[in-house]
Amino acid sequence: MLKAIIFGAPGAGKGTYASRLQTKLGVDVISMGDIFRELVKEKSELSSKVKSYMEKGALVPDDVVVEVLKAHLAKISKGKGFILDGFPRTLEQAKKLDTITKIDVIMQLIVPDWIIIERLSTRRICKNCGTVYNVKFLKPKVEGVCDKCEGPLYQRSDDNPETIKNRLKVYQEQTSPLIAFYKEKKVPFIELETKTLDQPPDLMVEKLLAELKKRNLA
């Protein structure tokens, strides 16, 4: 049973690779962003707690984020693995996660900034299902329309070069302590490096699968 974290800067391909691994491995992909979006639609004590922070524009505290994650993990079928995408984001979250479950492997996506800036500035996302496209390298069959659900595609307001550079800086500051934390704990790392702008996602996923098989995790 795979218990993995996928790390990578915004635009590194975390969601793209995780969704393909989900299909091939039969694991659950846990994206905290998606979970929060679904949670606020519910009527529960936990959703009210999360909503109160989001409505103020405040960051949801680590203990609440972990509470949300625990509730989601409890819903996963017994014996089914998972890939965490977008969690942990802080050292405190990583320490709290360590008390909940053991992580088998970290998949770290290494992508140069210039590739990320080009990718994100040409990225489009489905408003309905969240599927990610790119107007240059991963086009939908019909321009502006999602292949999966026929929902409209849009460009995020923060997918512009200056904002992307700032997001990359924040990511590096946040993630460096996390990488050090897991390396100190001797958690195995799979480092997947992208060197070209048009690297096919399926090729990269096959490389990840090969590395997971070497470790008897796939």
Do residues 72 and 37 make contact, with C-beta atoms less than 8 angstroms apart? no
Pairing of strands 123-126, 132-134: antiparallel
| Residues known to be catalytic | 14, 89, 123, 156, 167
The SS3 assignment for 194 reads coil
H-type helices in the chain, by residue range?
14-25, 32-39, 45-56, 62-73, 91-100, 113-121, 161-184, 201-214
Task: Map residue 79 onto helix, strand or coil.
Answer: coil
Contact present, 82 and 73 (Cβ < 8 Å): yes
**What angle, rounded to 10 degrees, do the helices at 14-25 and 201-214 form?**
60
Tokens of 28: 């659950």
Could you tell me whether strands 123-126 and 153-154 are parallel, antiparallel, or unpaired per DSSP bridges? antiparallel
